[in-house]
Amino acid sequence: MEHSASCFSLPVLDVACGRGRKRRVGKQRQGASVRGVLIGLLVLTTPAGLVWGDSFIQKNFHQLVVEAEQIFVGTVTASQSRKLPTGAIVTDVTFSSLRVLKGSEAPGDIVLTVLGGSVDGETLKVGGFPEFRLGVTYLIFSKDNGTAIFPAVGGAQGMFQIKRDPTTGEELVLDAHGMAITSPTVTDATSTSAPTAGLLQPASPVTLDAFVLAIKNRLSP
């Protein structure tokens, strides 16, 4: 049976796990920055001393590029959940058909580990985190893979879906939920028109080519 967390509950994050019982697995970090929007905070320590934790504050495009340890485009081809010694469930998400823009380009697939999943009829879901779907292509600004509860810069801010326009055939970049990008810093960085000085503009499609060019420009010395 699947049990979902209702959403965020600060100062702790409630996560539903098995038999409808809520397991409190996180505390709000004292002294966390009040700048931007705090989306979530969760800390989980394994017997080996591994700490999973992150606080998601607002990120601009420059921060996404600079803070990412690896930036890549890839299609989800596999998803396998497993249980940690602590009882928490994580899912290994495999990306293939890769295009690496920053970081190691070792041969083979890239596997990201995220908190949550289902094992032997038991489900752990963390509210507020987008889910990776099989067959969907993503552009990921990856950071702290294997140690963060969601290994993307700024959480969902560092995850974008790639879809092909059925009319033009162009590959378009959408946000983590498959909607048009509304972040002014991202649209400014990927636009060929004059910048909007941080003003929120009507959502419009961003092509993958323009997005990749903007990333490369930020990476250039």
Residue 190 has pLDDT above 70, yes or no: yes
212 within domain boundaries: yes
**How confident is the model over 170-187, as pLDDT tens digits?**
999 999 999 999 888 888
Per-residue pLDDT at 187: 84
Q: Cα dist. 7→83, 92, 94, 147 in Å?
A: 22, 23, 26, 22
2 within domain boundaries: no
7 within domain boundaries: no
**How confident is the model over 116-173, as pLDDT tens digits?**
999 999 999 887 788 999 999 999 999 999 998 999 999 999 999 999 999 999 999 9
Provide the domain count of the chain.
Answer: 1
68 within domain boundaries: yes
Q: Where are the beta strands (DSSP E) in the chain?
A: 14-17, 21-24, 41-45, 51-55, 70-83, 89-102, 110-115, 117-119, 122-125, 137-142, 159-164, 171-174, 206-207
209 within domain boundaries: yes
215 within domain boundaries: yes
138 within domain boundaries: yes
Rounded distance between C-alpha atoms, residue 117 and residue 91, angstroms: 6
Q: Which domain holds residue 142?
A: 14-219
Per-residue pLDDT at 215: 96
What average pLDDT does this structure show over 86-90? 91
124 within domain boundaries: yes
Rounded distance between C-alpha atoms, residue 86 and residue 84, angstroms: 5
Per-residue pLDDT at 22: 38
Rounded distance between C-alpha atoms, residue 128 and residue 7, angstroms: 6
Per-residue pLDDT at 133: 96
Q: Which residue has the higher pLDDT, 30 or 109?
A: 109
Residue 8 has pLDDT above 80, yes or no: no
